[in-house]
Structure 1
């Protein structure tokens, strides 16, 4: 079983999927190995073959290249629970049909300013379709892997539409709407998340609060909720039988086990039956079965059966972070609670699991680039019993009794009040002790730290256990990669339609632009800040905002809130928020950091925001990089009359490669060998313009496009090559 699980989980590490012929060979080899009783290796190969077949099936169901960016009329049924915000509605369409093309089985759509969309409705929609592509940055969330794990073959934006049929049998969506309409001290979205596993009503600040305090598992339906509900049903029947209230003709134990399992599965269906719920139901079913038969077959067998059951049903589940966290948490509890001599006090039995889970999950969260909560054990010490014993029972009972006037809503009002008290306490805790995002380290350091965690989870008295502390300390004391003197490490981040570039010398750090904001999407908060923290950066010597357009300056406030920014310079100070306290670009002189020269320029006769862009020239040795913001052809001609108009090796494409920039005279004068383009895939501005791209290539310039290569890294002064994140192959990543 371990071999089979390892084969199924190996899917996420494959750069490419083997062709069908090789899968046939591997399958034959697996059968042969099992014939000779080499079961672990044979089952490992069978698991790998099955996972590859399912992965290829999901890839084959993606949108074709010919339909990428096209607008089609489609018909389909809304599935799942639509997500609604003040500005848009997001929903999935199941088995869409178009007269002009064959479409993937599932589409994920967003409709800006659209009408209410409910689960189960059938719609006719005009949709601009896109291949399932996402931003790609080091230590960032892999949206493409997540879409594949959900078997979503395309995304799209709705331009127009009409409802063809109302919802049929959409009971989950109806119940959610009922819960959201309840007066519960403003915590109705939290109740919907707790009862139904639907977190679409929570905003980014809510999720940030849960993440900072390590309590996300309490609001997302998990094994704890399933086990608690099943235990309540089992205990109720056992209690009735003990006091002679249960009918004598009905054996109480089979009924208790059966009702507990039926209740767990029913609750799971209410919550959408995600991976944590699947795992909990399988393990609970096995435990109840053995309880019924008075047998005990060990603690690891239910775990392995649940692990393999989930992966056999959906091998792509291993691409989701929640899969690893769910099974890792259970594995930590099994490892630390089973086979130990001696008894713990009641206080230790209650407090230790929270600390052990926090310790055991640390390497997993580090590998998944997730924030680590410093206050997680303390927050869960209070939150777990508060939710389990007070909030959840009243919320479930209130939901069940909603058809009874006043009673159901009254219980939900009480449940919302209890939640409000807890949330206020968590808010204070999060404000006092923020979460920590461990910096990226070499794989060897991570392995040693993980080994140290395993040692610390061993029973007291084991000889190697004290060695875990110095190994764990490597997470804090691991040496960071140092930039050589006279060189600059340059990162062009993948922030979509905008710009954010990090420049780091040996002892100084500069951020050129901070990414875009669009409605409630702040790439400064989502991309720039997590990336900086993953690089071990908690302070910026300078944040240089080229100009005030939202695609360049939108994320600046998020960066300033999260890090210590010593100085802010911009080419358009009046257009920026006053909180940034920016200084004008024109008043600045050049400077030198660690043997690297930095020079600024701004056109004094600029008449609009783009022309006001603050231009930065960086020289490391005999290599130069020119960052131009959004200057147009007029500003380019003015720049060529300045002392900074010298040949460069690297050029950041002016205005994302628009037709009004990158004039031929400008490019000829600079003689750049490489051009960096930061833009969103399929953006509505048409960046970069085909004529500009042709101009770059005609001059022999290497084009490095964030929409095609993800984040791009180069070492200025080392005369090396630039590397894009998509060069680190994974089978689900789209080619540039």
Structure 2
């Protein structure tokens, strides 16, 4: 028991260090240092009292090794330059023409230099430039998993948008082991040997193309989410069923159980001692097969590790406490990939397991009764579902900005239904594809029909979505933390003051009088204008086939702040990069009014002379002179915004002629901050215009790695020569302006954690271009 306790201490220490791997500074230990530390660990094994130090040193060695390996592959890749020719194997399942934007490629050769088997960088490459060479229908398959291609590619580091909340490209790349992004300009097929998984997928795709729920069937069998539309994702998220339509630990565990019971049945029929371990063997084989179908994604690997540990315990008839099983699963997952802690699925899956174990523990203490076994099982399931809903609410609030209050009830019905019917039917149909096409089609019809009832529930539960702003999440965390202390520690004499201080501190927050946010939306524009709890949005960013900036950037930020509706929406003009998310934002946040310079049935005018106020924000439109049937760049609605003693000039995409006419009719001596017109292109920002803006703060909304290469270097230099404080969202991320102590406060969100090793690594790769 003492040995087990020592091992648990070491495991906890190692796990904590591995979890910190993504936050290490840029100055990392050398390989020689790692070897010295490893030698010390071997020596320290003779001294049990040094278990804490052993855990620390072991964690340092593992983490340093992973970081060193990842950095070495990056340096190897970029040492050949940014424009390279590679030979690589396709890792993505299928890439459809005009429906797929990027693929994963594992590099085997760079500029005719072969890679060693352990030095194979992974790239995510855009295929849009390559697609332009084809005129086929969108159903045409361009790339298949397992094919070997020669490609001309241009590399770029995985640097994405940086906003206060939302998707982080750097974190995603590191968690997935992607070393670089890039684009394909030309490609030649060398070996057309698609993987068996691709061949199976194509058969299933063709047989399910007419099924109502093909997108969900493909996600449940192959982990392929390319057919799930944005509207379907919203239904799944808002009903709390997103976890059910992805291959997760729940499904792998259930398939393991199918193999287990099948093995037990065979063993009972033949009654041979040689088949003693058949249930465990079949369970593992079934689980591995399902994980293979899913491409051995991170969630399936975590589930497989758990299945293997349980199998070993069963074989050796060992009984481990639940927390020890959890620690070993967590340790082995992080040992394989410590950077997986940057993924959302990591925290959701392990948090869910922790909650299930805690629920079982407290159920035995507070709820357990000696009623009928069947009733007791259902009582236990209900208790776990509500514990998952309550205890995972703050985590879901962080990742999804809300929860579905009907999710416990929906999951009580949907989880067993999908587990007992949909998943077995889907897997049986996949297998039958190899023997009988007709029987497989019948299986797919039944599987799709089984999803119909779940989808009906999800659609009717969609309105149960409740936004959880950040301060509510912090309050939930505080309550859970305090309850845990009360259960674990004897703090009877001072727990109440701690509760009052902790909760009280949540509400003592420095309130900003106002805030103007230039969001990081890539090539496009979107601003949030806030004061006294009221918000107006100026432009919405762009829209693409499967989503929009309004959905991926604006909505998470507004929900993070607890905003469910906005006061107004101003559209500078109608180009996609400024107004692409208009419809989504209107449908989701129901603005009281929409102003634009383009004629529209629901638009109020945004033309010269119009003035209006919203909660201390004074808006004055100074351009264009009249409404137009279609608002192009020169017709951009130019707004002068006054908040307190500060003035902002929002210019949209006006051109040089518009600038001249505006300057002839207005003076801008009182302007403090202005939006650089048209993303800093040379079609605007004339010398006269920039001279008028001398000494002010200029903000340009632009994206990195865009084909337009904005802002134009000459335009940037022109502003700098006129002492303009130049702020660029491509460099600083979301730029938030507010007032602190009567002074203008400027915050750039890409500066957060900029000195962590991988952020610095990606920046060095960018500078080496």
| TM more than 0.5 | yes
Question: CA separation in 2, counterparts of 1:10 and 1:87?
Answer: 37
Post-superposition Cα deviations, 1:408-438, rounded to whole Å, max 9, x if no partner, equal 22112211111123213212211x323x342
Shift of 1:36: 6.5
Contact 1:630-1:656 within 8 A present in 2 as well: yes
Of 123, 147, 152, the residue aligned with 1:107 is: 123
Shift of 1:482: 3.1
Which residue matches 2:146? 120
Task: State how 1:504-653 maps to structure 2 within 5 Å.
Answer: 504-574=530-600, 581-586=602-607, 589-604=610-625, 609-653=632-676
Which residue matches 2:747? 723
What do you get for the CA RMSD once the two structures are aligned?
3.4
Q: Which has the higher helix share?
A: 2
Shift of 1:141: 1.2
**Shift in CA distance, 289/217, structure 1 to aligned 2, threshold 3 Å:** same
1:14 and 2:24 are equivalent in the alignment: yes
**Shift in CA distance, 89/678, structure 1 to aligned 2, threshold 3 Å:** closer
Question: CA separation in 2, counterparts of 1:428 and 1:355?
Answer: 20
Task: State how 1:54-93 maps to structure 2 within 5 Å.
Answer: 54-62=66-74, 71-84=83-96, 86-93=98-105
Q: What TM-score does the superposition give when structure 1 sets the normalisation length?
A: 0.89
Mean Cα displacement is larger for which, 624-633 or 666-675? 666-675
1:172 and 2:182 are equivalent in the alignment: no
Mean Cα displacement is larger for which, 305-314 or 268-277? 268-277
Post-superposition Cα deviations, 1:698-725, rounded to whole Å, max 9, x if no partner, equal 1222221111111111115842341111
Secondary structure at the counterpart of residue 38 of structure 1:
helix
Of 284, 293, 307, the residue aligned with 1:270 is: 293
Shift of 1:32: 7.9
Contact 2:623-2:639 within 8 A present in 1 as well: no
Which residue matches 1:211? 237
Shift of 1:257: 1.8
Contact 2:641-2:648 within 8 A present in 1 as well: yes
Q: What TM-score does the superposition give when structure 2 sets the normalisation length?
A: 0.85
Shift of 1:198: 2.1
Which residue matches 2:410? 379
Shift of 1:296: 1.4
Of 336, 357, 361, the residue aligned with 2:392 is: 361
Contact 1:17-1:56 within 8 A present in 2 as well: no
Question: CA separation in 2, counterparts of 1:442 and 1:211?
Answer: 19
Mean Cα displacement is larger for which, 322-331 or 127-136? 127-136
Secondary structure at the counterpart of residue 156 of structure 1:
strand
Post-superposition Cα deviations, 1:298-339, rounded to whole Å, max 9, x if no partner, equal 212221111111111111111111111111111111122137
Shift of 1:101: 9.2
Mean Cα displacement is larger for which, 131-140 or 442-451? 442-451
**Shift in CA distance, 214/478, structure 1 to aligned 2, threshold 3 Å:** farther
Post-superposition Cα deviations, 1:66-90, rounded to whole Å, max 9, x if no partner, equal 8999554433221132354744353
Post-superposition Cα deviations, 1:326-383, rounded to whole Å, max 9, x if no partner, equal 1111111112213724347233122222211122222323344554232221221111
Secondary structure at the counterpart of residue 392 of structure 2:
helix
Residue ranges of structure 1 left out of the alignment (5+ in a row) = none
Question: CA separation in 2, counterparts of 1:442 and 1:48?
Answer: 36
Question: CA separation in 1, counterparts of 2:530 and 2:79?
Answer: 41
Question: CA separation in 2, counterparts of 1:63 and 1:671?
Answer: 42
Question: CA separation in 2, counterparts of 1:56 and 1:720?
Answer: 42
Shift of 1:496: 0.8
Question: CA separation in 2, counterparts of 1:591 and 1:601?
Answer: 12
Question: CA separation in 1, counterparts of 2:266 and 2:143?
Answer: 45
Question: CA separation in 1, counterparts of 2:532 and 2:425?
Answer: 57
Of 4, 12, 18, the residue aligned with 1:2 is: 12
Shift of 1:129: 2.7
Question: CA separation in 2, counterparts of 1:380 and 1:453?
Answer: 26
Question: CA separation in 2, counterparts of 1:568 and 1:450?
Answer: 42
Task: State how 1:263-412 maps to structure 2 within 5 Å.
Answer: 263-338=286-361, 340-341=364-365, 342-343=368-369, 345-368=376-399, 370-405=401-436, 406-412=438-444
Number of aligned residue pairs = 717
Question: CA separation in 1, counterparts of 2:480 and 2:95?
Answer: 38
1:451 and 2:481 are equivalent in the alignment: yes
Question: CA separation in 2, counterparts of 1:547 and 1:409?
Answer: 50
